[in-house]
Amino acid sequence: MKSIYRHSSCWLSGVALLFLGLSTAVAQETGLTPEMVVSLKQVRQVAIDPSGEKVAYVLSVPREADEHYGRRYSEIWVTSLSGGEAIQYTSKPTSSSRVSWSPDGTFLTFLSKRKAVDEHTQIYKLRRDGGEAALVTHHPASISSYRWSPDGKHIAFVAVDAKTEAEKKAADAGEDWEVADQNYKQHRLWIFDVTSGESRQLFERDLSVWSHVWTPDSKALIFQATETPLVDDSYMFKQIYRVSAAGGTPEVVCETPGKLGDMSISPDGVRLAFLGAVSQNDPLAQSLFVVQVAGGTPRNLSNEATFSATSVSWTKDKALLLLGVEGTHTTLRQIDAATGKGRTLVGTGPILRALELHAASGRFAAVGSTPQQPGEAFAGSLKNGKLTRLTDSNPQLSQQKLAKQEVIEWKGADDWRIEGILTYPLNYQAGQRYPLVLQVHGGPEGVSLNGWTTGGNYPVQVLAAHGYMVLQPNYRGSGGRGVAFSKADHDDLGGKEFEDILTGIDALIERGLVDGSRVGTGGWSYGGYMSAWAATAHSERFKASVVAAGLTNWISFAGTTDIPQEMALVHWNSFWYDQRDLHWQRSPVFHLENASTPTLIVHGKSDTRVHPEQSIQLYTDLKLKKVPTQLVLYPRQPHGLVERAHQIDFMKRVLAWFDKYLQSPGTF
């Protein structure tokens, strides 16, 4: 890949070989290390130019060990949709994201915070052939998302209300207290005039906008919004609105009962396709609906599908392209917009996401991962569904020995078919029983897929390199199996869903792969809950546990999380005060009398999803009971670790914890 980046505000470093000083032979034998994992690059987004010839993509790149701490950087690159050399357009240490093309293909636009130009995140543009980045907007607050109008005359963007002069003055005086649920800073929808350079707020009503699309004639916008900017409301109470691009009063397009996802308007501007929930207690916006843009009753085209839709695009007025998760893989389907029937274009291969369609040519681009490669840019065609990888962001992985990974099935509670991803020890030898470590996904409506599985929070290949068998179970409640499966754990958290996990362990023991006396577990968020539940209610089965940002007390969690309604409505079907005894009995801290499993507990100190008090409770209780435990709190980290040093520390602690308690054969 080469660079044509010539921005005066940033610098471009030369390409450095990763894992300097580590020979290929050693790398092949030892597998991935924590330092290798945090040094991997990943494609995050793709955008096809109007001609259908080029694709721009956002590349997530790591900070180096000697750089100041912070999140990863994002860079913009461009390559041909037919494959070839990639050209770099922006470079770290300034991050650039949300890349798009102007409708005439003249410019690349993106979001960036360049303090030398503007203190807020703004829209910038670059000419198609590169050059100097130019400021497009000069908004008084940071912009979070934007979309070009099809005619290229306007850009609709979303920005949070800026602080007033009175608020700034009060803050300077130290009068900066916050009163809950008052003085909301809404996510407003604005229109930028490309010719005049002026911006105007589209409507006055107090709504927070979370996503928006233009009608094909550029005369109106369809958007999803809530009455408040609260995270809980954005999960549960979004509605779909229509408003004229000239301004006016937003009107609700149709009634929707629960979560909402991706949406797309037909080329003739008549119909809206969107992904949504079938009921308020549906954990995912996983079903496909179609409704008239003018309003009406949506039709559910998914019916009783056994997959979870993730994105939708119109290919023409009567046909849709639907990307979804099915079991442990992704599928791409062409759907008849009238009947919901269709054919599968892509049923196996890379795990696809962030798909963008170029309807005129019938070509598409997407981010895809495989068991051997993290996210890369892929291209495909509606004619045959054949996929071509466009990028190779981590060429060193082609020389790296990775552990074997496969999809397995077993019978869970009630003889349900349960799936999971099994990763073997790096130097696996048939006939030998290995210690097992669970890596349990969160949600619980998350899903483990048969693509790249390793990251700073879930170090699957690192564990395999240390001689562990690793199982990632998709217990009932997970996505990818349709509405009924994802609802199957309602009001039974820690019940049959955990039986699904236990029977998965038993299946591996029966196959002669696992030593049942050396089983450990780990996971984040709801995966942390499962690991805390394992270490308390089912302590007799687990010799070690790692609880990361885990839920440990359902009653106090409900009073400290930023999603109290989401958790209650789509998983419990009740609030804790309606079924107090059930919520308390399904809390890991309720079962402390059973606890004997050594437990490592970690949490980000800036986590608003699962408050650190959840980890502090469990640590204090285990310590009082004299169960081996350790609590690690990571400054600045949200619901998951995002900084290099913290991720490396976490992975090394996990390895040390499991090595201490699982490597020696023994019995309970």
The pLDDT tens digits of the residues spanning 104-153 come to 999 999 999 999 999 999 999 999 988 889 999 999 999 999 999 999 99
pLDDT score at 2: 45
Is 512 among the domain residues? yes
pLDDT score at 534: 98
pLDDT score at 326: 97
pTM of the model: 0.92
For residue 666, pLDDT beyond 50: no
pLDDT score at 130: 83
For residue 303, pLDDT beyond 90: no
As a whole number of angstroms, the distance between CA 81 and CA 56 comes to 9
Judged by average pLDDT, the poorest of 25-39, 132-146, 453-467, 513-527 is 25-39
As a whole number of angstroms, the distance between CA 101 and CA 496 comes to 48
DSSP secondary structure letter of residue 589: G
The pLDDT tens digits of the residues spanning 588-600 come to 999 999 999 999 9
Give the β-pairing of 342-346 and 54-61.
unpaired
Is 394 among the domain residues? no
Mean pLDDT of 302-308: 91
Count how many domains the chain has: 1
As a whole number of angstroms, the distance between CA 500 and CA 473 comes to 8
Q: Determine the distance from the C-alpha atom of residue 61 to the mean position of all C-alpha atoms in its chain, rounded to a whole number.
A: 17
pLDDT score at 410: 98
Of residues 30 and 396, the one with the higher pLDDT is: 396
Is 616 among the domain residues? yes
Residue 54, classed as helix, strand or coil, is strand
For residue 6, pLDDT beyond 70: no
Is 87 among the domain residues? no
For residue 17, pLDDT beyond 50: no
Is 375 among the domain residues? no
Is 252 among the domain residues? no
As a whole number of angstroms, the distance between CA 50 and CA 112 comes to 22
pLDDT score at 5: 35
The pLDDT tens digits of the residues spanning 588-646 come to 999 999 999 999 999 999 999 999 999 999 999 999 999 999 999 999 999 999 999 99
The pLDDT tens digits of the residues spanning 315-328 come to 988 999 999 999 99
Other beta carbons within 10 angstroms of residue 502's beta carbon come to 17
The pLDDT tens digits of the residues spanning 237-273 come to 999 999 999 999 999 999 999 999 999 999 999 999 9
pLDDT range class, residue 28, cuts 50, 70, 90: very low
pLDDT score at 665: 61
Residue whose entry in the numeric block shows the structure tokens 């009962």: 257
Is 21 among the domain residues? no
As a whole number of angstroms, the distance between CA 536 and CA 588 comes to 6
Report the length, in residues, of the chain: 668
For residue 293, pLDDT beyond 80: yes
Domain ranges, residue 528: 401-662
CA distances from 133 to 54, 93, 117, 121 (A): 19, 15, 11, 14
The answer to whether the beta carbons of residues 8 and 340 sit under 8 Å apart is no
Non-local (6+) Cβ contacts of 450 within 8 A are 328, 329, 351, 371, 405, 406, 407, 421
Is 382 among the domain residues? no
The answer to whether the beta carbons of residues 472 and 440 sit under 8 Å apart is yes
The pLDDT tens digits of the residues spanning 401-451 come to 999 999 999 999 999 999 999 999 999 999 999 999 999 999 999 999 999
The answer to whether the beta carbons of residues 491 and 574 sit under 8 Å apart is yes
CATH number of the domain bearing residue 410: 3.40.50.1820
**Single-letter amino acid, residue 598:** P
Q: Determine the distance from the C-alpha atom of residue 659 to the mean position of all C-alpha atoms in its chain, rounded to a whole number.
A: 30
Mean pLDDT of 69-82: 96
The pLDDT mean for the chain works out to: 93
The pLDDT tens digits of the residues spanning 551-588 come to 999 999 999 999 999 999 999 999 999 999 999 999 99
Which strand ranges, in their side-by-side order, compose the sheet holding 107-112? 96-101, 107-112, 122-127, 134-135
pLDDT score at 29: 67
CA distances from 290 to 210, 271, 582 (A): 20, 7, 39
pLDDT score at 22: 34
pLDDT range class, residue 15, cuts 50, 70, 90: very low
